[in-house]
Amino acid sequence: MAHKHLNGGNAVILEQLRNGTAKFELVSSPVPSVDAAAPPNKKNTSLFGIGNCSSTLFFARIGSSLGEQSSAMKKREYFSVQKVTGDGRCLFRALVKGMAHNKGTALNQHEERENADELRMAVKETICENDRERILYEEALIAITVDEPLKRYCQRIGRPDFWGGESELLVLSKLCKQPIIVYIPEHEHRGTSWGSSGFIPIAEYGSEFGKVSKNLKPRKPVRLLYSGKNHYDLLV
């Protein structure tokens, strides 16, 4: 979901999402404006499995988190892929693996799993158990409750095989004060063959933590590779 000030049309759209008269659809490429009148038979194209929308309700089409940086961020980039275990914790595993890599350390499988579960439980505590903290994560709450009731989400996130995605990235980038950039393989973005070896950034979270400030040393981003099969690996 785009990080934008909630004024004008954006405020209207968010209100429609809250009261159920609009459905959320994250599009892979930024759109010039919010369109609440997409055809009712438009299929959801969420990058992160948010919302299985196929109804007569309007769609709130919101561009990816790249926002105004989209043209610059669409450039092909090259990294090495570090595979992450696909046990339902892949997003959380990739994050802790990436943060450790940025600090020059490595985690064994046991540490990786424990730290990944700690991240998942940190999201649960923030969103499900702390009313004061929860209100600071409006974008994540909208992304969650558009697809399911908050109560059901809070029951699911407690399970060790819970799959993380957009909502959790919105929370963890702030909790960890960590810039996070999500990429897809170039061949998926451009519709080219598997021979394409580059990666295209599609979403960015916590970019403010990568900038110089008085209170925080700028942090290196963690770069995640997302596949269309709901799996995350690490790019280094």
Which of the following is catalytic: 5, 35, 90, 154?
90
Q: Encoding tokens for residue 158?
A: 């407690």
Check if 87 is active-site.
yes
Which of the following is catalytic: 3, 101, 187, 231?
231
Half-sphere exposure of 116 (CA within 13 A, CB side): 28
For residue 222, the surrounding DSSP H or E stretch is strand 222-227
Residue type, position 149, single letter: P
Rounded distance, CA 91 to CA 225, Å? 10
Q: Cα separations (Å) of 224 from 11, 52, 184?
A: 30, 23, 9
Check if 176 is active-site.
no
Residue type, position 178, single letter: Q
> What Rg do the C-alpha atoms of the chain give, in angstroms?
17
Q: Cα separations (Å) of 57 from 19, 25, 166?
A: 12, 12, 22
Q: Which residue has the tokens 């280094």?
A: 236
Check if 53 is active-site.
no
Nearest to 148 by CA among 10, 23, 21, 1: 23
Q: Which residues are catalytic?
A: 87, 90, 231
